Amino acid sequence: MIICTHASNVWGIRLPVERLCALAHSYGLMFVLDAAQSAGVLPVNMQDGYDVVCCAGHKGLYGPMGTGLMLLRDGVLPDTLTEGGTGSNSFSLAQPEELPDRFESGTPDYPGIAGLGAGIDFVRKMGTDRIFSHELSLVSALYERLSAQKGIILCTPPPAAASCAPVLSFNIEGLHSEETAAILAKNGIAVRAGLHCSPCAHEAMGTADTGAVRISPSVFTSRSDIMKLVRVIGNAVKR
């Protein structure tokens, strides 16, 4: 199988997953889409031919941390990861064959599932197009202002709707990304710094030594939040 991310969680760069999916199928391979950074923001449709779609629940779906989804096309049925404790046929030592019992050993995380369901309902009500447009406008405004400041390192071109998810990573010259993140945290701004569990992505961009500071706005982020971020970054550059 080919497993491919939909959009980079570090740089926001989108991959041509539709073409890669067609390529995989032309060679008789399954295609697994990692939609952790795109679900809830970009269109993700099983009818595009994906065999499996996996995504985290705590990002664009606004669910609790530790939740997630694995969507399977018809005919795709993975083996079990854990077995036992289903309660639906306690006399049998074998895992039930019927669904969903086959994949529900022990007690599921019902509060997490309910929270993820509420998050998905929220995204459906808002609409992914509306969410994407709002978040991309904030990232675009931030990129424009940071690119005009000396001492700011931007690794990617300006964000474009056709090729990007609303994520922006940067560095301040002379500072490790964790140092920049600490300055922002003191000013009430939460970001993700370091290698983002993606060392190869940083090696490709030449940021393996410093990591990068990632800005990932949400539907609740306002333009005034972005302007505050710009001011704090500007002050850090001056210091």
Residues carrying an active site annotation: 197
Nearby residues of 96 by Cβ (< 8 Å), 6 or more positions away: 86, 88, 89, 102
Query: CA-to-CA distance for 56 and 5, rounded, in angstroms?
Result: 12
Q: CA 32, 37, 39: angle at the middle one, nearest 5?
A: 75
Residue 41 near residue 135 (C-beta atoms within 8 A): yes
- The burial of 4, by beta-carbon neighbours within 10 Å (0-12 exposed, 13-18 middle, 19 or more buried), is given as middle
In the numeric block, the tokens 């530790």 are attached to 66
SS (H, E, C) 65-105: CCCEEEEECCCCCCCCCCCCCCCCCCCCCCCCCCCCHHHCC
Residue 208 near residue 199 (C-beta atoms within 8 A): yes
Residue 115 near residue 123 (C-beta atoms within 8 A): no
Query: CA-to-CA distance for 135 and 189, rounded, in angstroms?
Result: 16
Angstrom distances, CA of residue 81 to CA of 53, 102, 221: 17, 10, 38
Number of H helices, E strands in the chain: 6, 8
